[in-house]
Amino acid sequence: MKTSDVLIKPVLSEKVNRLSEKYNRYTFVVNRKANKLEIKKAVEEFYGITVEAVNTINVPSKVKQRNTKAGLLTGRKPAKKKAVVTVAEGDTIDLYGNV
């Protein structure tokens, strides 16, 4: 798998901000077929930092329903895979640089 196809987007939330400030960990949504070695290589190449550890989480799909005039509509949110990347001491990732 190409390294450009591994990382999809960073996860930006209050919990992730606390993890990055306190434990130097960052969370990304990644390709579901990517393994830990590919994720580590992609983060190191893209951000130019040293990765110490990678933990992955498979998030299952969810059923969503909503009421409309036509009746109840049901659908599914797609499944995704998240990776929590621990960065070496002294290295940081600026996730808000382009905002």
pTM of the model: 0.86
Q: Distance between CA 49 and CA 74 in Å, rounded?
A: 43
Task: Give the pLDDT band (50/70/90) at residue 27.
Answer: very high
**Residue from 11, 9, 3 nearest 39 by CA:** 3
Average pLDDT over residues 59-63: 96
Taking residues 8-16, what's their average pLDDT?
Answer: 93
What is the reported pLDDT for 98? 58
* Fold (topology level) of 3-87: Alpha-Beta Plaits (3.30.70)
Three-state DSSP at 88 gives: coil
DSSP secondary structure of 2-45: -GGGTEEEE--SHHHHHHHHHH-EEEEEE-TT--HHHHHHHHHH
Handedness of CA 85, 91, 97, 98 (dihedral sign): negative
Mean pLDDT of 41-65: 96
Domain map (residue ranges) of the chain: 3-87
